[in-house]
Amino acid sequence: MKRVVQVSAGILVLALVGWWAAIRIVPSWRAEDLIPVMEEYMRASARGDTLALHGLSASTQVTQWGLAVHRSAPAFAQEASHGLRAWFVDRGDSTAKAGFRLKKSVIDPHCEFRPLEQVQASFVQQNGEWRLTWVGTDIC
């Protein structure tokens, strides 16, 4: 009986470690080259730097979204500009979709029901560099 409990406990621990790795390590590893692009984009948004936003974007919608965040939720842009953690990543050869969580949530100035705590984005690889094709947050 003691042996069965030990084996069961070992299996449970291995399952928990595997689950934890799948949630915390794998997305971060798969997004290691996307996180710096997203953080740089959010730094440019926090500054309201149109030129930098355009350089990181593959569409005008992405540049406009960054400027809108600069005007309406600057604290969100500032917080999202460092320490993002990927929570999901879906990658192809030259495209990727990812969700990033902020270290600390920020009050949403337009929604009293929830804080801003994550940002999602789609990327395309052009000439060896990742550029954003879409960026957004949860809708209130």
pLDDT score recorded for residue 99: 94
5-39: pLDDT as tens digits: 565 655 654 544 444 444 444 445 467 899 999 99
pLDDT score recorded for residue 121: 96
Backbone angles phi, psi at 102, to 5 degrees: -80, 155
Q: What is the mean pLDDT of residues 113-133?
A: 93
Contact 62, 130 (CB under 8 A): no
| CATH class (in words) of the domain with range 31-136 | alpha beta
Contact 131, 123 (CB under 8 A): yes
Q: What is the mean pLDDT of residues 69-86?
A: 93
DSSP β-bridge partners for residue 133: none
| Listed residue (131, 104, 129, 128) closest to 116, CA to CA | 104
Residue ranges of the domains in the chain?
A: 31-136
User: Rounded to whole angstroms, how far apart are CA atoms 38 and 50?
Assistant: 15
